[in-house]
Amino acid sequence: MYISKSLPLLFIVLLLFFVNCKKQAAQCIEPDPSIDCTSGLKEIAPYPIGLATATFYLQEPAYDSILRQNFNSLTAEWQMKQNIIHIAEGSYNWQPMDDLVDYAQQNNIRIHGHALLWHGATPKWIEDYEGTSEEFEAIIKDYIQTVVGRYKGKITSWDVVNEAFKDNSGNLRATVFKKWMGDDYIARCFQYAREADPDVLLFYNDFNLPSSSSKCQAVLDMVEDFKARNIPIDGIGLQMHLQLQWPSDQQIQKTVEQIVETGLKIHFSELDVRLNDAGRLDSLTTEQAEKQAARYCQIARFHNQIPTEQQYGISIWGLRDSDSWIPQFFGNEDWPLLFDQNLKTKPAYEAFQKGLCE
Ligand code: G3I
């Protein structure tokens, strides 16, 4: 009698145990045994691992050592932007760019150029431009072709245009470029860059595509339009400035799949995971660090799922937490990167290693 009464309960317990094992097995993808998952990030990843950096960081021996152990791609966090190099019509400050390009070449590191046109780094003399549209376009064309031509064979890829669409909208931002060159300025800038270097890879780069379907659709429509008109474009940069649960994994997955469909390369171009938008934290808790680690691991898994020929790599937007743009921009202390302010690895680093290794 006792056995007959307890049989259904026993069955349910066994069923739950079986289901839980299956679920755990699905999450624990065994890494490739031929890869040492404790190596530097660039040794583990099947695609480039990049870092946003600046020359003044490279003069720190500890920073330089960690960079060369882990990264095989560099993005200038600000040194290659128009407001730094294009100091007047026909006049350039090349030193900041040359410094970074020289370092990358000496260390056999890929350089991703960022960014030829961005409303967030337009020199004042361009913003204040007065003249004809034709003269303005000639200035921009000369700037693009001078910069891309100078680093031909040295810079592998460029963010030709950065953040051209309004956030949460499919409309073009009212930038100085749109004002003087018209709505089709993006296409012409890609053509100018291609004319300067037939081999350089040309990217469009933007943020919040996973969370803004209208903005994402505008980018996808632009890509299809470029294809129809034979306007050169090679890739899309998803900046990936993330919070712990925003945008959701489902939103990221959907956007990655949509861009995979275009056949273009995909660059997770500015990855960081901020934790303190609300300003409620005054230190990095163990719980938050572990949640951040899980997110970095998952982002690596998303890139792993991209077809090999479309993987352009994952670039982290800064090395140590104290280098990040986020505290100054959002106004709260934050810990968004893989290394702490003392260049010690955080749980996010080990989790990112694990994700790359799967
Ligand atoms: O320009 C000075 C330079 O002359 C000086 O030598 C140097 C050292 O003190 O500082 C430079 O100042 C600031 C620079 O960051 C270094 O801290 C610039 O004034 C400041 O504008 C620049 O901010 C950068 C910002 O883009 C604008 O270029 C941030 O570091 C960088 O993280 C941020 O990155 C953007 C991406 O390009 C596009 N996506 C969003 C992302 C975050 O805003």
227-264 tens-digit pLDDT: 999 999 999 999 999 999 999 999 999 999 999 999 99
Strand 241-243 vs strand 265-274: parallel, antiparallel, or unpaired? parallel
Q: Which of 159, 252, 161 is nearest to 209 (CA)?
A: 252
Q: What number is the average pLDDT over the span 167-176?
A: 94
What is the signed CA dihedral for 178, 179, 180, 182, rounded to 10 degrees? 50
Closest C-alpha to ligand 1, atom 23: 78
Which pLDDT score, from 0 to 100, does residue 22 have? 40
User: Do the Cβ atoms of 158 and 203 come closer than 8 Å?
Assistant: yes
Which pLDDT score, from 0 to 100, does residue 10 have? 57
Mean residue pLDDT of the chain comes to: 92
Q: Which of 267, 250, 221 is nearest to 112 (CA)?
A: 267
Q: How far is the CA of 97 from the centre of ligand 1 (A)?
A: 14
User: Do the Cβ atoms of 74 and 108 come closer than 8 Å?
Assistant: no
Which pLDDT score, from 0 to 100, does residue 20 have? 43
Q: How far is the CA of 77 from the centre of ligand 1 (A)?
A: 6
Q: Kindly state if the Cβ of 57 falls inside 6 Å of ligand 1.
A: no
Q: Which of 273, 203, 262, 213 is nearest to 238 (CA)?
A: 203
pLDDT digits (tens, 9 = 90+) for 186-238: 999 999 999 999 999 999 999 999 999 999 999 999 999 999 999 999 999 99
Which pLDDT score, from 0 to 100, does residue 165 have? 98
pLDDT digits (tens, 9 = 90+) for 26-77: 343 455 667 777 789 999 999 999 999 999 999 999 999 999 999 999 999 9
What is the C-alpha to C-alpha distance for residues 176 and 302, in angstroms, rounded to an integer? 35
Q: Kindly state if the Cβ of 125 falls inside 6 Å of ligand 1.
A: no
Exposure of 263 by Cβ count < 10 A (0-12 exposed, 13-18 middle, 19+ buried)? exposed
Q: Kindly state if the Cβ of 239 falls inside 6 Å of ligand 1.
A: yes
Which pLDDT score, from 0 to 100, does residue 30 have? 54
Q: Kindly state if the Cβ of 78 falls inside 6 Å of ligand 1.
A: yes
**pTM: predicted TM-score of the whole model, two decimal places:** 0.91
Which of the residues are catalytic?
163, 270
User: Do the Cβ atoms of 114 and 75 come closer than 8 Å?
Assistant: yes
pLDDT exceeds 80 at position 124: yes
> Can you state the angle between helices 213-228 and 249-262, rounded to 10 degrees?
10
Dihedral-angle region of residue 153 (phi above 0 means left; psi in -120 to 50 means alpha; beta otherwise): left
Q: Which residues pair with 313 in a beta bridge?
A: 267
Dihedral-angle region of residue 240 (phi above 0 means left; psi in -120 to 50 means alpha; beta otherwise): left
Closest C-alpha to ligand 1, atom 43: 325
Q: Kindly state if the Cβ of 112 falls inside 6 Å of ligand 1.
A: no
Closest C-alpha to ligand 1, atom 32: 325
Token pair for 106: 């000496």
Q: How far is the CA of 60 from the centre of ligand 1 (A)?
A: 19
Closest C-alpha to ligand 1, atom 34: 77
